[in-house]
């Protein structure tokens, strides 16, 4: 009744134990845990405020979050007297927090455990402030994000090995894990939503594929729950709902064409259950928007969407956080989605359709560049698609060309792209390149060869031994850049006014 997807590398008799590659991924996760940076800054202030205010104050009062936020976040929100600017309040007298509540939902188990530990420690005389800002809470949030980021790559590996040998799935997983924008938001800025989004998308794609073509009502409900949580975390991932939509439309079309006509009733019921559960799980987002903005459909964003003129080329190739220019390994990953057609034409077509739709939506967004972003951070959500695509490309090259030559070439190319990416993340984090706006690739390349090798060792030493001082220095640099930008914009405005 449906197009059957190939899964030739899946075996019903596969032992239910971890493979050596999965063990290696787990070990790598624990080895890299010290890289996690326990702080809340920027957009993360808004995401974290939901969890802290409910856990500590039992209401949506973000006052302390705004007042104690990092300097660059406070700049346009706090006046000269240290008070919150009246323009920051909505019609319901809540602070304008347009960020999604999904990350707070995912952090809640870690924060509840941390809060319980702090309260117990306080009773024992430790005197750790149970205010949501002390270090145990920051550690809980950062570890939670790192774990969700790891789940994203682990699930992606499981997805990829359905179609290619585990060795290629492993190399592709490592390549995307450290060659994309994911490390910046899994380790350096863990209070943002991107690593969590990557994990929910990976789970949604994995479960959709696992139950593809033979989904029970209960499985439709589970898929709807995952989908609702996925959109709670990151709204634009609603584009992934295209997967069950296309799947269902194919079933309905086949039911109409077949003679005698097949019964599509179970699919109609399944679609209904999926939709109801998805909306129910997404309802916390709608309720929060009602509380803050007075309307279920007012999400608080003021940016425009230009649906008739998507900036496809800029999103992909701009020096202003272009997807492929900043993280070139993703060029190979997207090409690999087409190579996947040799293994499974239907599944590859599904993933290509999702990527194109996602690219279109982000291209229509006014701030397609992500403002302050490492690479095109919006696409971190599609980590699973990129891992599968890159693994498929490696497998295709291995089957088409001389295997003895392909293997060292693949390993070498992946290593070079990963090292380039980690060097560029270092430049971005240390403000060796602008964090906002386009960068000079000439300067970036020069830094990669000369500056990064010289400064990386001392910076990493400071990161592990004097991290607080290093973060304060980075924050001061960021504030100075923002002030300089605002000053330039003011001068340009005055110049136009004089004309």
Per-residue pLDDT reduced to its tens digit, 251-298:
998 888 877 777 788 899 999 999 999 999 999 999 999 999 999 999
Least confident residue range of 24-38, 76-90, 183-197: 76-90
pLDDT reported for residue 214: 86
pLDDT tens for each residue of 128-160: 999 999 999 999 999 999 999 999 999 999 999
Cα separation, 78 vs 85, whole angstroms: 5
pLDDT reported for residue 211: 96
Band (491; pLDDT cuts 50, 70, 90): low
**How does DSSP classify residue 35?**
G
Structure-block tokens of residue 367: 């701030």
Band (3; pLDDT cuts 50, 70, 90): very low
**Given the structure tokens 């964090």, which residue do they identify?**
435
Contacts of 390 (CB under 8 A, 6+ apart): 172, 175, 176, 329, 332, 333, 336
2 dihedral zone (left: phi>0; alpha: psi -120 to 50; beta): beta
Contact 160/396 with Cβ under 8 angstroms?
A: no
Q: Residue length, the chain?
A: 499
Query: Does pLDDT of 495 surpass 80?
Result: no
Query: Does pLDDT of 468 surpass 80?
Result: yes
Query: Does pLDDT of 46 surpass 90?
Result: yes
398 dihedral zone (left: phi>0; alpha: psi -120 to 50; beta): alpha
Query: Does pLDDT of 486 surpass 80?
Result: no
Query: Does pLDDT of 317 surpass 80?
Result: yes
pTM over the 0.85 mark: yes
Mean residue pLDDT of the chain comes to 93
Residues of the chain above pLDDT 90, percent? 85
Contact 371/188 with Cβ under 8 angstroms?
A: no
86 CB-contact burial (10 Å; exposed 0-12 / middle 13-18 / buried 19+):
exposed
Query: Does pLDDT of 213 surpass 90?
Result: no
pLDDT reported for residue 92: 95
Among candidate residues 99, 102, 186, the one with its CA nearest the CA of residue 148: 186
| Cα atoms found within 13 Å of the Cα of residue 348, Cβ hemisphere only | 21
pLDDT reported for residue 326: 98
Stretch 306-317: mean pLDDT: 94
Least confident residue range of 250-264, 368-382, 395-409, 432-446: 250-264
DSSP 397-460: HHHHS-HHHHHHHHHHHHHHHHHHHHHHHHHHHTTSS-SBS---HHHHHHIIIIIHHHHHHHHH
Q: In the chain, where are the structural domains located? A: 20-38+139-465
């Amino acid at each position: 009744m449906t197009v059957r997807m190939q899964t030739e590398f899946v075996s019903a008799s596969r032992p239910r134990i971890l493979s050596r590659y999965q063990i290696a991924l787990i070990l790598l996760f624990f080895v890299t845990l010290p890289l996690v940076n326990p702080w809340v800054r920027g957009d993360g202030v808004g995401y974290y405020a939901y969890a802290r205010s409910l856990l500590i104050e039992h209401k949506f009062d973000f006052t302390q979050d705004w007042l104690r936020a990092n300097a660059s976040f406070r700049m346009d929100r706090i006046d000269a007297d240290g008070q919150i600017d009246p323009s920051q309040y909505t019609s319901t007298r809540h602070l304008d927090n347009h960020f999604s509540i999904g990350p707070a939902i995912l952090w809640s188990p870690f924060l509840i455990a941390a809060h319980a530990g702090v309260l117990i420690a306080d009773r024992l005389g430790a005197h750790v402030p149970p205010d949501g800002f002390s270090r145990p809470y920051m550690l809980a949030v950062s570890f939670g994000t790192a774990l969700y980021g790891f789940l994203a790559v682990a699930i992606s590996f499981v997805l990829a090995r359905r179609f290619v040998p585990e060795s290629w799935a492993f190399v592709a997983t490592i390549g995307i894990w450290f060659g994309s924008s994911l490390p910046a938001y899994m380790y350096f800025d863990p209070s943002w939503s991107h690593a969590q989004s990557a994990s929910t998308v990976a789970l949604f794609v994995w479960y959709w594929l696992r139950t593809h073509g033979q989904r029970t009502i209960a499985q439709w409900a589970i898929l709807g729950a995952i989908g609702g949580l996925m959109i709670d975390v990151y709204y634009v991932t609603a584009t992934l709902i295209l997967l069950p939509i296309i799947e269902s439309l194919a079933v309905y079309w086949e039911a109409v064409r077949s003679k005698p006509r097949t019964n599509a009733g179970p699919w109609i019921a399944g679609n209904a259950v999926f939709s109801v559960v998805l909306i129910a799980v997404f309802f916390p987002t709608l309720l929060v928007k009602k509380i803050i903005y007075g309307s279920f459909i007012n999400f608080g964003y003021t940016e425009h969407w230009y649906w008739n003129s998507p900036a496809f080329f800029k999103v992909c190739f701009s020096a202003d956080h272009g997807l492929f220019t900043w993280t070139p390994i993703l060029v190979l990953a997207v090409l690999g989605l087409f190579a996947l057609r040799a293994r499974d034409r239907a599944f590859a077509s599904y993933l290509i359709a999702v990527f194109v739709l996602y690219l279109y939506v982000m291209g229509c967004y006014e701030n397609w560049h992500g403002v302050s972003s490492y690479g095109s951070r919006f696409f971190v959500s599609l980590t699973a698609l990129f891992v599968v695509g890159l693994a498929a490309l490696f497998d295709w090259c291995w089957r088409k060309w001389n295997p003895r030559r392909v293997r060292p070439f693949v390993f070498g190319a992946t290593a070079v792209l990963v090292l380039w990416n980690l060097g560029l993340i270092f430049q971005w984090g240390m403000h060796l390149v602008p964090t906002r706006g386009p960068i000079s690739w000439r300067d970036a390349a020069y830094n990669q060869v000369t500056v990064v090798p010289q400064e990386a060792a001392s910076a990493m030493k400071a990161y592990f031994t004097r991290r607080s001082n290093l973060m304060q220095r980075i924050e001061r640099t960021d504030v100075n850049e923002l002030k300089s930008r605002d000053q330039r914009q003011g001068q340009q405005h005055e110049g136009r006014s004089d004309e």
